[in-house]
Amino acid sequence: MTSDASTLTLTPRPSTLSLDDFVAQYGDVYEHSPWVAEDAWRAGVSEEHDAPEALADLMGKMLQNAASEQQIAVIIAHPDLAGKAATSGELTDDSTREQAGAGLDQCSPEEFARFEKLNNAYKEKFGFPFVIAVKGLDRHAILAAFETRLENDLAEERRTAIEQIINIARFRLRMRAEDNA
| CB-CB contact of 75 with 122 (8 Å) | no
| CB-CB contact of 138 with 98 (8 Å) | no
From 32, 49, 78, 140, the catalytic residue: 78
Q: Whose CA is closest to 74, among 112, 37, 124?
A: 37
What whole-number distance in Å separates Cα of residue 67 and Cα of residue 62? 10
Q: For 16, which DSSP code?
A: G
Using alpha carbons only, how large is the chain's radius of gyration in Å? Answer: 17
Q: Is 140 a catalytic residue?
A: no
What whole-number distance in Å separates Cα of residue 105 and Cα of residue 97? 10
Output the CA torsion sign for 31, 37, 160, 155.
negative
DSSP-assigned letters across all residues of 116-161: HHHHHHHHHHHSS------TT--HHHHHHHHHHHTTS-HHHHHHHH
Active site residues: 78
